Amino acid sequence: MNKFGSTDLNINPLGFGGIPIQRISPKQTVEVIAKAKDLGVNFIDSAQGYTDSEEKIGQAIKNHKDYWVLASKAPAKDEKSMEEAIYQSLKNFGRDYIDLYQMHLVSSEDDLKERLNPESGAIKALLKAQKNGYIGHIGITGHRPEILAKAIDIYPFVSVQAPYNFLETQSEDLLVKAANKGVATIIMKPMAGGALASPTASIKYILQKDFVTVAIPGMESVEQVVENVTAANNLEMTNEEKDGMEKDIHELQHNFCRRCEYCQPCPQGIKIHSCFIFHGYHKRYGLKDWALPRYKTLPTPASACTECGLCETKCPYELPIREMLKEVACDFEN
């Protein structure tokens, strides 16, 4: 078990991510979470934005509510919206207490400042809920390590959640900094959103790092739970896993968006990283019905790309962004 930052919580270093729960039945969810419990997993992370994930998890844990260290999150910026989100999460989970509630997807300094406004920001609702015993601790999540690094300097968050795997290492400095400050580190996207062909290699790669508190792969079958727990219990990589990791790196390093946003702004107003995030939920998670409506809320579609190529000159990973945007447009606009 790992100590969860400065708290008195102790958790298995392999946690349970709630995204894929959206695409399986309530009965299957019960079976998957029961197997995770049987194998010692005791940390679940979900979110307000994951459609029915919280509700399914709530049903699956109702007979052993107190066993789980439960975490959720919401992108609410103001007090009222965050208060509503916390209430809804409590209702969905069927619990009167959530161990960790996180500010979800903080994306800029202005965004952080708005949420931390003591008079009207989301932090006011979180602190009120904490004082009233509805949540235990307050954390933060995001895809931009430089913003999260500033956040843990400005406010005493107990945890920080960021993407990290052998393809996405841009958050490593942040995670080391957090661990050195006694802030728990939660690794989201440990399998690069389902892009990796060698998932057990990624689990082992991540859990070998001493700055990692818990990794939260999404799991939607009993077989995946067994595979991931087996990998977490023996971190020595096989030759097959090493070869698979090298193959993933070779095949994906120049065709996988790390959401660093260095490509922005686009002259046409396309939110490039958002296009790729939603596309990834469709292609890798099989959640097109969830991703498409959100894609349609973007101010400018991927098809608006004029192929000026400016984004590609700024991408540190040399991604073929213009071709990738064409694929997004093809899948979401036709």
Show pLDDT as tens, one digit a residue, over the chain (334 residues). 999 999 999 999 999 999 999 989 999 999 999 999 999 999 999 998 888 999 999 999 999 988 999 999 999 999 999 999 999 999 999 999 999 999 999 989 999 999 999 999 999 999 999 999 999 999 999 999 999 999 999 999 999 999 999 999 999 999 999 999 999 999 999 998 788 888 999 999 999 999 999 999 999 999 999 999 999 999 999 999 999 999 998 888 888 888 778 898 999 999 999 999 899 889 877 889 989 999 999 999 999 999 999 999 988 888 999 999 999 999 999 8
Give residues with Cβ within 8 angstroms of 103, minimum separation 6: 73, 74, 75, 115, 122, 123, 126, 138, 139, 140, 141
> Which residue is it, tokens 């899948």?
331
Q: Coil, helix or strand for 2?
A: strand
The CA distances from residue 163 to 96, 129, 135, 160, in Å, are 29, 27, 24, 10
pLDDT at 259: 79
Question: How many beta carbons lie within 10 A of that of residue 1, not counting itself?
Answer: 10
Q: At what angle do helices 321-333 and 288-296 cross, to 10 degrees?
A: 100
Tell me how far apart the alpha carbons of residues 195 and 204 are, in angstroms, rounded to a whole number: 16
Question: What are the backbone angles phi and psi of residue 308, rounded to the nearest 5°?
Answer: -70, -25
Residue (of 235, 230, 244) closest to 198 by Cα position: 244
Partners of 101 in the β-ladder? 72, 138
pLDDT at 3: 97
Do residues 43 and 11 make contact, with C-beta atoms less than 8 angstroms apart? yes
For 37, the token pair is 């419990």
For 218, the token pair is 């999404």
Do residues 85 and 48 make contact, with C-beta atoms less than 8 angstroms apart? yes
- What is the set of domains in the chain, with CATH numbers? 2-244 (3.20.20.100), 272-333 (no CATH)
The CA distances from residue 223 to 22, 39, 57, 187, 232, in Å, are 17, 12, 18, 21, 14
Tell me how far apart the alpha carbons of residues 26 and 9 are, in angstroms, rounded to a whole number: 28
Q: At what angle do helices 222-233 and 26-38 cross, to 10 degrees?
A: 20
Partners of 188 in the β-ladder? 163
pLDDT at 194: 80
Tell me how far apart the alpha carbons of residues 302 and 218 are, in angstroms, rounded to a whole number: 28
N residues, the chain? 334
pLDDT at 173: 98
Q: Coil, helix or strand for 131?
A: helix
What is the pTM (predicted TM-score) of this model? Answer: 0.89
pLDDT at 83: 98
Residue (of 191, 185, 223) closest to 6 by Cα position: 185
Residue (of 244, 263, 131, 124) closest to 191 by Cα position: 244
